[in-house]
Structure 1
Amino acid sequence: MASEMVEDLWLFGYGSLIWKPPPHFDLRVPGYVEGYVRRFWQASEDHRGTPEAPGRVVTLIDRSHWETLTDQHSDAPPTTWGAAYRIPARHVAEVREYLDIREINGYSIQYTPFHVSKTYAASHELPAPIDCLVYVGLPDNPQFMGPQDLQGLAEHIVKSRGPSGENKDYLYGLDQALIELGEGSEDEHVHDLARRCREVESRACGNIGKQADSHGPGSRLQRVGSTDEQEEIEK
């Protein structure tokens, strides 16, 4: 009996995967998904916090569920921007195993249509839309925090850190990476939290505005060649 043909895998990143991509990808495509809202409502015990003091990272929330919740950021764009990565078939088993291990802290596998940005699509031939795997922290997972006070959330992010580094660097990196994806890709929830965190830092160090131009790690794509080299995978 012939073995089953393994196809290329498409993976959608909406958090640090935007600038810290998975190993072995051969194509990175900017674009968006529909029907979700991105929020810093997922606790992180393994990357940006510890079990004793969890940090906060993003997850995707089904828009119909989000509309039933009370959120201080009461508006959200109809699209959630990020980056899709193509993993060649020969590396799919290795990367899937690695991702599944690294994403066990509350995330589950979903599939969603990914729409390539118009600017990128104009010069590249790609399927429309692309069926992408995405890791989502569903509302019933134990790390899902739900709506939170924005100022309290910002203060929590500033003081949190874990094996992958400062929680605030994750936020600043995501904010900058979204801006760099192209027109319309900014996220007000992320941007407002970044602004609040910088204000918290400035007050703490007694130097108002010192952090205003800090972009975090999002300004440079950090590419690795294997799962052994990869520091972290966060959505």
Structure 2
Amino acid sequence: MAGAGQCAVRCRCAGADACRRCDRVADRGRLNPSGLRHSGASVPLPLPQDDPFHYSRLNLLRGDLWIFTYGSLMWDPGFRYARTVPALLRGYHRAFCIYSNRFRGTVSAPGLVLGLDHGGACKGTAYKVATGDVPAALEALWQREMRRRVYVPRLLPVTVGAQRCVALTFLANRAHDGYAGRLAIDAAAAIIAACRGERGPNVDYLVNTLRHLDALGVHDHHLHRLLAAVRAVQAAGAGRHQRR
């Protein structure tokens, strides 16, 4: 079991805790891309074990698990955790690049939610999950994030305080039809202002994300500009309605 302050996964590609040149992780000193070992019984999943997106394809060591979050998982993780701290992921940035046809939109009018896309850096929240809670946390995450395969689960190096760890996170799947790409801010604002899904208006997702980032002391200039554009769309719509 990983002790306090230790990562459950270590990359030895370059003899360091986390390799800056690849996303692979080491299993007892050797790469083993097919194995997942955790305590507890097998967990029922929406994906079969031979699916390439099944979490058994990740290379997790037995022990505690770090999970890097950047959107709704920051303020609504949905799993038990032992510790939460601000964290930094380099090489990817948060973006409203995923169409949501359930939680923040519908099939006929999909909303937008966040994904991690290539380039830049992302400040978010890292959750440390204790060994005994890892199976249930993975089940909850796969039930919530992986039904459509619009995300790609990856183990990536993150900075947690002065520590470098490898954490599980979810990247945007650029090969998926649900990947929206890089939308102009006006186009994204029009979608977010108009759409709603099972969990409420799309704009609430944006507001909650910004509220959590602001509480962390993270000022995401792009998301604040996006919210201002959404409010402008809503105000224009309200004005047209009043003139009828």
Q: Considering the TM-score relative to the shorter chain, is it more than 0.5?
A: yes
Q: Mapping of 1:125-204 within 5 angstroms? A: 128-182=163-217, 185-204=218-237
Number of matched pairs: 180
The whole-number CA distance in structure 1 between the counterparts of 2:228 and 2:134 is 38
Deviation (angstroms), 1:138: 2.1
Structure 1 runs of 4+ with >4 Å offset: none
Which SS does the other structure have where 1:141 is aligned? coil
Q: Deviations over 1:118-163 (max 9, x none)?
A: xxx4xxxxx7112110011221122101122211210110111111
Deviation (angstroms), 1:35: 0.6
Using a 3 Å threshold, how does the CA distance of structure 1 residues 13 and 4 change in structure 2: closer, same or farther? closer
Deviation (angstroms), 1:187: 1.6
Contact 1:158 1:168 in 2 (8 A): yes
Q: Mapping of 1:1-12 within 5 angstroms? A: 6-12=62-68
Query: Residue in 1 aligned with 2:151?
Result: 107
Which SS does the other structure have where 1:51 is aligned? coil
Deviation (angstroms), 1:202: 2.4
Which SS does the other structure have where 2:126 is aligned? strand
* TM-score (normalised: structure 2): 0.69
Which SS does the other structure have where 1:129 is aligned? strand
Deviation (angstroms), 1:26: 1.4
Matched residue type, 2:153? I
Deviation (angstroms), 1:93: 0.7
Q: Deviations over 1:151-195 (max 9, x none)?
A: 12101101111111110000111112112112xx22222111111
Which SS does the other structure have where 1:131 is aligned? strand
Matched residue type, 2:136? E
Deviation (angstroms), 1:82: 0.6
Deviation (angstroms), 1:92: 0.8
The whole-number CA distance in structure 1 between the counterparts of 2:93 and 2:66 is 21
1:92 matched to 2:140? The reply is no
Contact 2:38 2:63 in 1 (8 A): no
Instruction: Please give the root-mean-square deviation of Cα atoms over the aligned residues, in Å.
Output: 1.9
Deviation (angstroms), 1:52: 1.9
Gaps of 5+ in 1: 64-77, 122-126, 207-235
Q: Deviations over 1:30-64 (max 9, x none)?
A: 1211011221111011211112221101111121x
Query: Residue in 1 aligned with 2:90?
Result: 34
Contact 2:157 2:166 in 1 (8 A): yes
Q: Deviations over 1:73-98 (max 9, x none)?
A: xxxxx431110001111111111012
Using a 3 Å threshold, how does the CA distance of structure 1 residues 82 and 4 change in structure 2: closer, same or farther? closer
Query: Residue in 2 aligned with 1:70?
Result: none
Matched residue type, 2:231? R
Contact 2:94 2:115 in 1 (8 A): yes
Which SS does the other structure have where 2:163 is aligned? coil
The higher-RCO structure (CA 8 Å, 6+ apart) is 1
Contact 1:39 1:189 in 2 (8 A): no
